[in-house]
Amino acid sequence: MRSYTRVFVGNCLFTMICCLPVPLALLAGCVAWSEGDDWAWIAFTLGFMGTLGIVLMAKRTTYKELPLVTRKNRLKVTMVSYGDNTFVMRAPRGANGTPAARLVRADVLEASLVRYSPEGEATFTSYWRDCTPDEFTPLIRLRLRVHDAEDTDDAEDTDGADGFEITDEWRIPSLCLSAVTAGRLVVLIEPADAPARGRIVPHWPRSTLLAGTRTCRVIGLDGRTTEVTRRVGRQLRQMRISHAAGGVAMNGDTIDVRRLEPRLAARYTELAEWAEAHPEDRAPLTEPGEEARWIVDDLPGERAGFGSVGRRWSRRGGVLALGRFLHMGGTDVFQDHGPVLDTVLRVHPVDGTPPFDAARRLTVPMDYLAVLHRTTDVVLSVNPSGTTYMIDWSRTSLLAGVTAATVIAPDGEEIPVTGRSEIIWSLMNLLASQGLSNPSPVLDLRKHRMGPAAVTLLQAARSRPHSIKYAQRE
């Protein structure tokens, strides 16, 4: 776990080396002062101004590098009402195809990473008016089962009689990777008489809706709000209505039918009545066969683990807290291990004070983005004074299930805890309170340093699941 002070001092030293004339000016000023030269004050002025600039540049660089959140980042004005279960995504614009293109569902049968090799190393790379450059967009090979018939909205085409398979390579925006892991996509099929002649075009923003990554609600003409997240049949019909109309804007995660033009509102109302007469179960978080499309291990990101603990941080009362992303939006800045996104994070302080929403530009690891359909929770390490929250991506990835988590009992028994977020969260807090670091996803209680806390940790690993502060997505 990186310390703010350590990173800040390192950036100061690096910036000072890059700006070598600044310390040289101070040295020259000292020499001139000792010799009584009148121009010494000029060298001192330039040196002090340069030193101030070095400190400001180091502070800005540290702020960009570390995922820090404070109350100064509090979201002041918003046009969107963020509920606890809301997740708004400003995904890159997708290709709409021709007006005659048919919008259907496709299931991901297999997925494998073909290429992702940017050359920016750890630096920030900006692109002007290009939010999805090929350099930072992974190329993935997909084998899809395309449900060609439009009446197979509810995955009724299980035997594949009305569908066909296709294998191809597509560049997938990082924000939309979770649709591949979930296994549900939206594709456009061009008609045979069109110039594209039957070309299959995945629509990634709509795919994140169908996958359940983005939450979706509809406000009817009567003012009643209906939750349609992971209601695959209704969502596909809504998308076809929107596609035919040239697109329907969502206010955050909500479509307000009262704001639509009358003809379009009538079609949405008719669909709502149909959905009420034909109740639909929510689709699963992920479709069967996830292991065949698990690209998470091949994507860059921080290594998942139970987390490192600073002894001083633990002794002085540092604790862990949970937060939840409410909003993510792309920018034109990228790093090798993830895009730089504009985010809104809801932080629940551990001291019981009311939660607050913080707006922060952060680098989000790509392996975490690939499991956003499961959870948007993050683990925060809180400084002893309770004023600064730092996102711990290592713990966050383990809690999200990016990597398998295992506890090894003193007698050698292996206890798998993957997917049991409440147990993983409990173990992380116990380790932090005892000042024990375990950066690996395997917690080996046979190690000597685990001795004093081994019994308590083993009881937690074998305990019955209890509700975590934030429920994982159902």
pLDDT of residue 27: 78
Residues paired with 330 in a beta bridge: 341
Residue environment code for 333-353, b if the CB has 16+ CB neighbours within 10 A, otherwise e: bbbbbbbbbebbbbbbbeeee
**pLDDT band per the 50, 70, 90 thresholds, residue 109:** very high
Per-residue confidence band for 12, with pLDDT thresholds at 50, 70 and 90: confident
Residues 139 and 189 in one domain: yes
Q: What is the mean pLDDT of residues 289-299?
A: 95
Give how far Cα 457 sits from Cα of 390, 419, 441, Å.
25, 17, 14
Confidence tier at 198 by pLDDT (50, 70, 90): low
| HEC assignment per residue over 144-208 | EEEECCCCCCCCCCCCCCCEEEEEEEEECCHHHHHHHHHCEEEEEECCCCCCCCCCEEECHHHHH
- Considering the domain architecture, whether residues 259 and 348 belong to the same structural domain is answered as no
Question: Is residue 183 in some structural domain?
Answer: yes
Q: Which residue has the higher pLDDT, 118 or 211?
A: 211
Position 156 confidence tier, pLDDT thresholds 50, 70, 90: very low
pLDDT over 90 at 342, yes or no: yes
Domain enclosing residue 39, as ranges: 4-66
pLDDT tier at 157, thresholds 50, 70, 90: very low
Q: Is the predicted pLDDT of residue 419 greater than 50, yes or no?
A: yes
Place 163 in a pLDDT band, splitting at 50, 70 and 90.
Answer: confident
pLDDT band for position 159 (cuts 50, 70, 90): very low
Examine the domain organization and report whether 311 and 256 are in the same domain: no
Task: Identify the residue whose tokens are 């209680």.
Answer: 445
121 found inside a domain: yes
CA distance 7 to 356: 26
How does residue 429 score in pLDDT terms, banded at 50, 70 and 90?
very high
Q: Which of 248, 267, 293 is the last residue of a domain?
A: 293
> Has residue 192 got a pLDDT over 80?
no
Does 73 map to a domain? no
Last residue of a domain, one of 238, 262, 293: 293
- Decide if 74 is inside a domain: no
> Domain check: are 400 and 333 in the same one?
yes
Helix, strand, or coil here: 289?
Answer: coil
Does residue 41 share a domain with residue 100?
no
In this structure, is residue 77 part of a structural domain? no
**Over 80: is that where the pLDDT of 367 sits?**
yes
Contact 363, 338 (CB under 8 A): yes
Phi, psi (degrees; rounded to nearest 5) at 471: -75, 135
> How many separate domains does the chain show?
3
For residues 379-398, give the mean pLDDT: 92
Inform me whether the pLDDT recorded for 99 exceeds 80: no
Please state, in angstroms and rounded to a whole number, the distance separating the CA atoms of residues 189 and 186.
Answer: 10
Q: Give the rounded percent of residues in the chain with a pLDDT score beyond 90.
A: 54
Domain final position from 293, 327, 348: 293
> Model confidence at 118, in pLDDT bands (50, 70, 90)?
confident
Residue of 112 and 5 predicted with greater confidence: 112
Tens of pLDDT, residue by residue over 59-68, are 777 777 788 8
Do residues 146 and 168 share a domain?
A: yes
Q: Is the pLDDT of residue 378 over 70?
A: yes
Separation between Cα atoms, residue 102 and residue 194, nearest integer Å: 12
Alpha-helical regions (H) of 254-392: 262-277, 311-315, 366-369
Whether residue 247 is found in the same domain as residue 370: no
Instruction: Judge whether residue 453 has pLDDT over 50.
Output: yes
- Mean pLDDT value across residues 304-329: 90
Q: d(Cα 361, Cα 370) in Å, to the nearest integer?
A: 19
Query: Which residues touch 423 (CB under 8 Å, ≥6 apart)?
Result: 417, 460, 461, 463, 465
Are 36 and 50 in contact by the 8 Å Cβ rule? The answer is: no
Q: In what order do the strands lie in the sheet with 163-171?
A: 163-171, 139-147, 102-115, 184-189, 200-202
Q: What is the pLDDT of residue 160?
A: 45
Give, to the nearest 10 degrees, the angle between helix 262-277 and helix 232-245.
Answer: 160
Residues 447 and 385 in one domain: yes
474 has a pLDDT exceeding 60: no
What is the model's pLDDT at position 351?
84
Question: Mean pLDDT, the chain, as a whole number?
Answer: 86
359 has a pLDDT exceeding 80:
yes
Q: Is the pLDDT of residue 116 over 50?
A: yes
Distance CA 92, CA 137 (A): 12
- Per-residue pLDDT band at 106 (split at 50, 70, 90): very high
Strands (DSSP E) contained in 212-310 are 217-219, 225-227, 254-256
| C-alpha span between 107 and 146 (Å, rounded) | 6
| Residue 79, domain member (yes or no) | no
CA distance 87 to 326: 5
267 pLDDT higher than 90? yes
Cβ atoms 84, 346 nearer than 8 A: yes
Identify whether residues 230 and 332 lie together within a single domain.
Answer: no
pLDDT of 193: 62
What is the C-alpha separation between 436 and 425, in angstroms, rounded?
15
Q: Are residues 377 and 311 in the same domain?
A: yes
Same domain, 280 and 334: no
85 phi and psi, to 5 degrees?
-105, 20
> Is 157 found in the same domain as 212?
yes
User: Could you read off the pLDDT of 25-68 as tens digits, one per residue?
Assistant: 777 778 777 777 777 777 778 777 888 887 888 777 777 778 88
CB neighbours of 369 closer than 8 A, spacing ≥ 6? Answer: 174, 175, 177, 178, 338, 339
